[in-house]
Structure 1
Amino acid sequence: MTEPPFLSATRTAYDAVAVDYAELLTPELREKPLDRAMLAAFAELVRAAGLGPIADVGCGPGRVTAHLDALDVSVFGIDLSPGMVEVARKRNPGLRFEVGSMTSLDLPDGELGGVLAWYSIIHVPPELLPTVFAEFHRVSAPGGHLLLAFQTGDERRHIEQAYGHTLSYDAYRLPPEHIASLLTEAGFVVTARLIREPDLRWDRVPQAYVLATKPTAIDEKGLPALTAGRAASSRGPR
């Protein structure tokens, strides 16, 4: 079966830039406190749920995978680019990294306590995002958590120069409300959203973070509930 063209283009681009990308982005996370705060909250939720590891899907050179590992959660990385996976393994020899695609994850149903897609859904054509989110839902355990990060907007950008290389691949800026709606349609419950203004050292547009969970129960109306106890709770709003 022939893979979608965007996968081939994205793989080729990131294979080409893997070493330089890793070097250039090494200091980024330590200069972004709100990014670290979102990752810390995500790690705390996954750790408290105690359901399984986190898959860092689109992990690149493993910098965020390593950050999560330092937050005392079980985590491994998956990336489309063999070049990125090679760099990730060299930089983080104690962590697990695999080659794979978010469109078809080689993982059992309900395997994961957490799924992280940190600026990795941005290369998926918007019409294919429901397929990706369905796959994230499939591999998540009931009660598991999902965190997405992406650039806001509503446009396709064709990239021909990046990280000192001539390339040819697409990246998409995405509307946060639409992404939240797609996650709901995929069966997740969106629990938090953050829009951060651009850090001009690194960003050109506002950045979005969406946190969601896979429900553990379905209520009598067929709607997802975060927990069976919460669905049955008689407490009013506070």
Structure 2
Amino acid sequence: MSSEIPGAPGFLNDTRAAYDAIARPYSEQLADWLSGRPLDLALVTAFAELVRQGGTAPVADVGSGPGNVTARLDALGVPAFGVDVSPRMVALAREAHPHLRFHVGSMTSLDLPDETLGGVLALYSVIHVPDDHLPAAFAEFHRVLVPGGHVLLGFQSGDEEDRLHLSERFGQEISLDYHWRTPDTVVEMLVKAGLRLHARVLREPDEDETRPRAYLLAQKVSRPR
């Protein structure tokens, strides 16, 4: 497994180590998962269209994993790049999509200049961020977005008291925590970060899912509270 991130909180190092360990089978299992979910794809497509209408600033796919959604954004005509905490995930994404840019990084401290992005996409990556660190991530989204830029979040919806810890996946020993939240809880955090809610969608789980999926579309319109 890769070395720890110096000075990083424990959850980041645990998440990095876990996804490094399962990078190959995870990437194979979730290859182009959007193609089989038309509603989810429609939301990503609408997000891409909103970003295009706002100008030419790029989109950061935060928690990009194997890079399939980053590539989908590129195919939709949006300049996009991926950011992931796992070096092995980044390596696989570069291998699969050599024409796109991917780099190692954390959503709680993005190595990006202020007001340079037209959009931030975070699909099923905020689930690994504890409640006390999530406001910092949303503050980073606000910081890097141009005025009027958009955020699209996707996450499993659930009771805040409910948590999941995995010690094994794909036959690998890992230590990975999942944090479930209601859309209302996440909306409140977004608003405090200076992001106005534009739309919310809550869909029922598909046959291979156990929890409802929440999508929140927000826009940078104000300073953080």
TM-score for the superposition, normalised by structure 2? 0.93
In the other structure, the counterpart of 1:55 is 60
The letter for the 1-side match of 2:70 is: T
Work out which of the two has the higher radius of gyration on C-alpha atoms and give 1 or 2: 1
In the other structure, the counterpart of 2:94 is 89
SS of corresponding position for 2:8: coil
User: Following TM superposition, by how much is the alpha carbon of 1:36 offset from its aligned partner in structure 2, in angstroms?
Assistant: 0.1
In the other structure, the counterpart of 1:182 is 189
CA distance in 2, matches of 1:163, 1:41: 33
On the 8 A contact 1:51/1:141 being kept in 2, the answer is no
Matched, 1:206 2:224: no
Aligned length: 218
On the 8 A contact 1:51/1:144 being kept in 2, the answer is no
On the 8 A contact 2:151/2:218 being kept in 1, the answer is yes
User: Following TM superposition, by how much is the alpha carbon of 1:173 offset from its aligned partner in structure 2, in angstroms?
Assistant: 1.2
CA distance in 2, matches of 1:28, 1:74: 21
Seen in structure 2, the aligned counterparts of structure 1 residues 170 and 138 have a Cα distance that, compared at 3 Å, is same
SS of corresponding position for 1:126: coil
SS of corresponding position for 1:103: coil
On the 8 A contact 2:32/2:69 being kept in 1, the answer is no
Matched, 1:144 2:149: yes
CA distance in 1, matches of 2:48, 2:64: 16
SS of corresponding position for 2:134: helix
TM-score for the superposition, normalised by structure 1? 0.88
Seen in structure 2, the aligned counterparts of structure 1 residues 181 and 91 have a Cα distance that, compared at 3 Å, is same
The letter for the 2-side match of 1:165 is: Q
Q: 1:166-200: CA deviations, max 9, x gaps?
A: 21110111111010010000000000000010012
CA distance in 2, matches of 1:5, 1:27: 30
User: Following TM superposition, by how much is the alpha carbon of 1:18 offset from its aligned partner in structure 2, in angstroms?
Assistant: 0.7
Q: 1:77-114: CA deviations, max 9, x gaps?
A: 00000000000000000000001111110100001000
In the other structure, the counterpart of 2:3 is none
Structure 1 residue runs of 4 or more that deviate by more than 3 Å after TM superposition:
none
CA distance in 2, matches of 1:186, 1:151: 21
Matched, 1:162 2:173: no
On the 8 A contact 1:66/1:92 being kept in 2, the answer is yes
Matched, 1:195 2:192: no
User: Following TM superposition, by how much is the alpha carbon of 1:51 offset from its aligned partner in structure 2, in angstroms?
Assistant: 4.6
Matching residue within 89, 97, 111 for 1:106:
111
SS of corresponding position for 1:146: strand
User: Following TM superposition, by how much is the alpha carbon of 1:28 offset from its aligned partner in structure 2, in angstroms?
Assistant: 2.1
Aligned-residue CA RMSD (Å): 1.5
